[in-house]
Amino acid sequence: MATGIQVRNMPSEVGVSVIEGAYREILEPSFGPDELDTLDTLLDGLARSEVWGLCAVDGEMPVGCILGYPFTESNVLLIGYLTIKPGLRGGGIGAKLMDEAQQRWFGKDGLTLMVAEVEDPRRHPAVGDVDPRRRAQFYARRGAQVVVGPYFQPRLEGAGKKRVYDLFLTILGGNAGAITRENSVRAEQLTNFILEYFRDSGEGSDFPRANDQEGKDLLAWYRARETVALHPIGDYAQIEIPRINS
């Protein structure tokens, strides 16, 4: 990693201007508008400690960031965003941020499972230097595994935002009991996570609504089983994600 780069906590160790710079210069170029929380939502979440954030800085210039979303009822930590400033990817900053996040956040407040939403490289093309294949390879080097079950990102807060499809729900780490000896994850914990996450998002606290057959089918799929198999993300070409009815 480049010398002189430090990892600082957001918001206690960086100002709002640095966070806004990270949002405009790093997050917005890396994620589509439906995938990304609004700046106001992010700032409010950080202020309330509903979002945990780390920023890699070179002097006072943000060069990378990672954001975690703790869901304490289901005991799941969602790594919502991890990205590096365009032109600086591949230099070890992402690995440093992930290492710091795991050390500082994982296991805190009873969180037993760490997950991320990763674009399926077979269905999301590379755009500039944002390449889903490289993201999958990054997580593969860290031993990440895909939940072999249906999934989509909920509708986030903000006008006009939509659900995002063709994402891998990916396990980055699990404490004892979270992942079984048969290399699977408990479906009940995933069900509880989906409910907590979706109801805390733009979907609303009444998710799934009566007319949301897709949402009801998603929950029904997980509720119908005790465990869900895992598959290494590095072998994503062999992963067949079940489709829900809708």
Res. 1: pLDDT tops 50: no
Cα 22 to Cα 3, 148, 176: the distances in Å are 19, 33, 35
Task: For residues 23 and 165, give the distance between their C-alpha atoms in angstroms, rounded to a whole number.
Answer: 23
pLDDT tens per residue, range 78-134: 999 999 998 888 889 999 999 999 999 998 889 999 999 999 999 999 988 889 999
Cα 167 to Cα 23, 63, 118, 136: the distances in Å are 22, 25, 5, 11
Delimit the domains of the chain by residue range: 66-238
Task: For residues 215 and 220, give the distance between their C-alpha atoms in angstroms, rounded to a whole number.
Answer: 9
Q: What percent of the chain has pLDDT over 70?
A: 98
Would you state the CATH architecture of domain 66-238? 3-Layer(aba) Sandwich (3.40)
Determine the pLDDT at residue 175.
Answer: 86
Cα 103 to Cα 96, 131, 173, 212, 224: the distances in Å are 11, 27, 12, 38, 34
What are 104's two structure tokens? 């500082």
What are 191's two structure tokens? 């069900």
Task: Give 40's contacts (C-beta < 8 A, 6+ positions apart).
Answer: none
pLDDT tens per residue, range 4-55: 789 999 999 999 999 999 999 999 999 999 999 999 999 999 999 999 999 9
Residues 165-179, mean pLDDT to the nearest whole number: 91
Task: For residues 12 and 190, give the distance between their C-alpha atoms in angstroms, rounded to a whole number.
Answer: 31
